[in-house]
């Protein structure tokens, strides 16, 4: 464990915003977690736990401690003929876990290919893509309780997963450090090909020829074609959530905007936030060093020297214009500090 003062976070956030933390500490074991939380600084300073910085926007320097938990490791904890439960430490990169699962023919997260971030961040957001969410396969989450100074475990149902939501964003906010998760995979061939863009990409292949490897490669192709590489163009992926509507409100909305893009769910509808933003003229629109991405309006990009405040101002403009045109309030998916 190494505590550093006045530490630049530019390489620890995918927007590439140049801000500093008053203190930065990287922890590589559970013993070091206990050691850190015995230090007076853990009580005297505000604390921000950071993964790979792929879902965060810093609008100013952080006046406190930024803690990064970097422990990596993958372990099989139970295995039967049809299922395997795998434990992954929080410091693992999410896509490395997906690659491992696909290589070993463990079915369940191949649709979540190329989602940036760490394993530890995945349950907080209940990450999802192409018809699959983490809640569909997650078995449990282990975390350090900052108040009780103990390791706790939550089952899937106890995580209270919702759309890009979990107990970690509400009741446990600011009170936890995720140390590991467990995922239950199927060893039998089970592929979710329900999402339109993925289904279209795979339509040229015979159904029996679609493998878990092909699904991963197809998702990679789709994502790389429409999403900017943060190493080349700073961004945090989808900046906004797709707004949800009950059936009554949706009927009124779709009569007024019949060309809208939407997704029907069991209990409501999701409206495409990207479509809403594009209709307001923001797709590819650049203001200073910030723009909405030219291939996907849902993504805000830093063209090199934008401050976090400039990016936030641009996002606020989008929210206001969407509200004015559609009377819909967009919510941020990115965590703004």
**Annotated active-site positions, please?**
164, 238, 333
Q: Can you read off the two tokens belonging to residue 288? A: 């200073």
DSSP, res 58:
-
Q: Please state the φ and ψ torsions of residue 25, each to the nearest 5 degrees.
A: -135, 130
Question: Reading across the β-sheet that carries 262-264, which strands appear in turn?
Answer: 244-245, 269-271, 262-264
Q: Which residues are bridge partners to 150 per DSSP?
A: 145
Task: Round to whole Å and give the CA distance between 284 and 314.
Answer: 12
3-class DSSP state of 310: helix
Phi-psi label, residue 285: left if phi above 0, alpha if psi -120 to 50, beta otherwise: beta
Task: Round to whole Å and give the CA distance between 244 and 241.
Answer: 9
Mention every residue, 6+ apart, whose C-beta is less than 8 A from residue 8. Answer: 18, 19, 20
Q: How many CA atoms lie within 13 A of 323 on its CB side?
A: 9
Report whether 74 contacts 119 (CB < 8 A).
no
Q: Rounded to the nearest 10 degrees, how much is the dihedral formed by the CA atoms of 145, 149, 152, 157?
A: -20
DSSP string, 5-32: EEEE-GGGSTT----EEEEEEEE-SHHH
Residue with token string 């594009």: 278
| Residue count (the chain) | 337
Residue with token string 């809640």: 135
Helix (H) or strand (E) holding 97: helix 94-103
Task: Round to whole Å and give the CA distance between 224 and 243.
Answer: 24
């Amino acid at each position: 464990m190494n505590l550093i003062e006045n530490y630049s976070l530019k390489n620890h956030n995918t927007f590439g915003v140049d801000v500093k933390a008053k203190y930065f500490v990287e922890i590589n074991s559970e013993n070091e977690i206990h050691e850190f939380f015995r230090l007076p600084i853990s009580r005297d300073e505000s604390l921000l736990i950071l993964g790979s910085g792929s879902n965060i926007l810093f609008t100013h320097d952080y006046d406190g401690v930024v803690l990064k938990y970097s422990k990596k490791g993958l372990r099989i904890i139970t295995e039967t003929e049809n299922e395997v439960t795998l434990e992954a430490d929080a410091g693992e990169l999410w896509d490395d876990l997906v690659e491992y699962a696909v290589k070993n023919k463990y079915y369940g997260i191949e649709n979540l290919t190329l989602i940036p971030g760490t394993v530890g961040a995945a349950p907080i957001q209940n990450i999802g893509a192409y018809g699959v969410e983490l809640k569909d396969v997650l078995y449990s989450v282990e975390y350090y309780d900052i108040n009780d100074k103990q390791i706790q475990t939550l089952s899937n149902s106890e995580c209270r997963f919702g759309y890009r939501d979990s107990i970690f964003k509400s009741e446990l906010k600011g009170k936890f450090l995720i140390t590991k998760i467990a995922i239950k995979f199927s060893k039998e061939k089970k592929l979710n090909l329900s999402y339109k863009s993925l289904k279209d990409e795979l339509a040229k292949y015979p159904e029996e020829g679609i493998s878990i490897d092909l699904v991963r490669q197809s998702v990679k192709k789709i994502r790389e074609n429409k999403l900017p590489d943060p190493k080349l163009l700073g961004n945090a992926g989808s900046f906004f959530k797709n707004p949800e509507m009950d059936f009554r409100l949706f009927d009124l909305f779709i009569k007024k905007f019949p060309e809208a893009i939407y997704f029907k769910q069991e209990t409501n509808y999701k409206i495409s936030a990207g479509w809403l933003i594009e209709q307001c003229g923001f797709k590819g629109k650049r203001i200073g060093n910030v723009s909405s991405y030219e291939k996907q309006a849902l993504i805000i990009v830093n063209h090199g020297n934008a401050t976090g405040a400039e990016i936030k101002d641009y996002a606020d403009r989008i929210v206001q214009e969407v509200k004015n045109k559609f009377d819909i309030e967009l919510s941020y998916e990115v965590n703004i500090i």
